Amino acid sequence: MPNVVGCTMLSRAMFRCGQMCSRVFAVEFDLRTEPLYFTLSAKPHILHHDYQRFFGDGKIFSLYIDSDNRIQKAQTHAEIKTKLSKKIARDCDVLETCSFIPDVKNSVVKGFCIRDKSTPGISEEILKTFRQNESVCVFSYKRDGQYCWQELWSPVNQTEKAERQYVTPASTPLYHPSTLDIRSSDVFYSRDEAYMVLQECSDIVPESKAVLQLVDEQVESCGGVGFPVIVIEGLDASGKTTLTEALRESLNATLLKSPPQCLAPFRQRFDSEPPVIRRAFYALGNYITAAQMGKESLKAPVIVDRYWHSTAAYAIATAVSGRLENLPRPDSELYQWPEDLLRPNLVLLLNVNPEERMRRLRDRGQDKTIEENELEVNQLFRLKVEEAYKRIQNPSCLSVDASPSPQEVLQQVLRLIRNKCHL
């Protein structure tokens, strides 16, 4: 991440210099509402309503992970998140927070906010272990009546009085902060961008080398296709597997999947990695599938079970915290198809009501990814995934009601394919 002039609150050395910070801080204290936005200033500012409520109880700390090495930053964030979830007592709130420059891409620095209401407080002992990492900066918040300020936190008494940076309410930014870094850490819009991430993490994730070798062996530049390529998209248990198998037989087509089978031995390993590494892995899977599509379409129609729409929709929905309204706007460049990725002729999005989908999931009883588990318990996440699917452009998805019987869905889809692809 490029250095930002004047951003003192994320560096211990610069903080001590007493420079002002142009950044905005955001705390997700209630996913149903806007985050709590504030800046820092040298002069006290009276706080009202939500700010008084948030800063009013117990000890409050925040920590931010900042590093020029995006792999190190992502891993540190994941490690701290895991440790906080295991070590913090029930009467401590751990909330997602970040610092950013409004409307500036790649300016987000992620972290956590801890509200410790326990007696005695237990969070400080845990925070001591985090301060040993040079990329982690920890702050404490203190109140004096209607004022609140942020200080660089130290587990011992400081010999010098820390400079106070007063919490000052900030207006809601034009774009939700979590959208500012999607392009660099969650969705990849070229093969080279995803390839570079796995190169950077090859020392800590040895499997990356094998994946990159597969990419080098299988991915070739491919122009137009011969027979039509039809992609079937949808949430887990929407009927994709049943439909794609039926289409393969009905159209005498080749059936492909994304991620491709050659990456199956590595999926469990990469699913356990931070988002930037996991997303890069799945992005490269799309490019391998694209190479297979180009070859197979010269011989017969090609049916593909998931493709770039899934990769992007799940990544965007996961990266964007909070409400549905926090998603990138419908006309955002984040929904545009990668220029170097082969485009299918038709993309069909299977839709099924939540109750029916849950019934199918229970009947299947198969192992699911973290995100597929999240779909079952988090209605908001499901809605964000579905909306992201609908907003992806060039090509966009054509919606199909997948609630009827498999045979009825098949006939409906065959009519669409014959109409759109002239098969």
**Which of 120, 154, 179 is the C-terminal boundary of a domain?**
179
Residue 163: band (very low, low, confident or very high) from pLDDT cuts 50, 70, 90: confident
- Given a cut of 80, whether residue 7 has pLDDT beyond it is no
Whether 374 shows a pLDDT value over 70: the answer reads no
Name the band, by pLDDT with cuts 50, 70 and 90, for residue 13: very low
Range of the domain at 85: 8-179
Q: Is the pLDDT of residue 119 over 80?
A: no
- The pLDDT mean for the chain works out to 86
CB distance 62 to 114 below 8 Å: yes
**Statement to judge: residues 204 and 150 lie in one domain:** no
Give mean pLDDT, residues 156-161. 54
Which pLDDT band holds residue 18 (cuts at 50, 70, 90)?
Answer: very low
Q: Is there a domain that residue 82 lies in?
A: yes
Q: How far is CA 293 from CA 249, 260, 264, in A?
A: 17, 11, 18
Least confident stretch, 177-181, 202-206, 360-364: 360-364
My answer on whether 170 and 188 are in the same domain is no
Q: Does the pLDDT at position 341 exceed 50?
A: yes
- Tell which residue, 148, 176, 156, has the closest CA to residue 24: 176
Rounded average pLDDT over 293-313:
95
- Could you tell me the pTM of the whole model? 0.87
Within 8 A by CB and 6+ apart from 9, the residues are 15, 21, 23, 40, 64, 99, 137, 139, 150, 165
**Could you tell me the strand order of the sheet in which 302-305 lies?**
254-257, 302-305, 229-234, 346-351, 398-401
Q: Are residues 279 and 415 in the same domain?
A: yes
Give which of 273, 231, 248, 245 is closest to 392, Cα–Cα: 231
- Does 371 fall in a domain? yes
Q: What is the pLDDT of residue 12?
A: 42
Compute the average pLDDT of residues 298-321. 95
Cα separation of the two ends of the chain: 49
- pLDDT at residue 283 is higher than 50: yes
Question: In this model, does residue 10 exceed pLDDT 90?
Answer: no
In a domain, 3, yes or no: no
Instruction: Indicate if 381 and 327 belong to the same structural domain.
Output: yes
CA 351 from centre of chain:
23
Biggest CA-to-CA distance, the chain: 79
Q: What is the domain-level CATH number for residue 296?
A: 3.40.50.300
The CA distances from residue 92 to 59, 119, 219, in Å, are 9, 11, 49
What local confidence, expressed as pLDDT, does residue 16 receive?
35
pLDDT at residue 373 in the model:
59
Of residues 51 and 123, more confidently modeled: 51
Q: Does pLDDT of 220 surpass 50?
A: yes
Establish if 33 belongs to a structural domain. Answer: yes
Is residue 41 a part of any domain in this protein? yes
Q: Which residue has the higher pLDDT, 64 or 372?
A: 64
- My answer on whether 305 and 242 are in the same domain is yes
Mean local confidence (pLDDT), 122-128: 79
The yes-or-no verdict on residue 92 having pLDDT over 70 is yes
In a shared domain, residues 373 and 294: yes
Q: Is residue 188 included in any domain, yes or no? A: yes
Among candidate residues 110, 144, 179, the one where a domain is terminated: 179
The answer to whether residue 2 sits within a structural domain is: no
- Of 135, 159, 179, the one marking the end of a domain is 179
pLDDT reading at 372 higher than 80? no
Percent of the chain with pLDDT over 70: 85
pLDDT at 222 over 60: no
Of the pLDDT bands very low, low, confident and very high (cuts 50, 70, 90), residue 225 is low
Residues 369 and 353 in one domain: yes
- Do 165 and 269 lie in one domain? The reply is no
User: HSE of 186 in the Cβ direction (CA atoms, 13 Å)?
Assistant: 20
Is residue 19 domain-shared with residue 45, that is, in the same domain? yes
pLDDT, mean of residues 122-129? 80
pLDDT at 19 over 50: no
The pLDDT value given to residue 332:
94
Instruction: Compute the residue count for the chain.
Output: 423
Stretch 347-369: mean pLDDT, rounded? 72
Kindly state whether residues 234 and 369 are assigned to the same domain: yes
The pLDDT score that the predictor gives to residue 130 is 86
173 and 197: one domain? no
Q: How many domains does the chain have?
A: 2
In a domain, 290, yes or no: yes
Considering the domain architecture, whether residues 322 and 375 belong to the same structural domain is answered as yes
Share of the chain above pLDDT 90, in %: 60
Q: 5 falls in which pLDDT band (50, 70, 90)?
A: very low
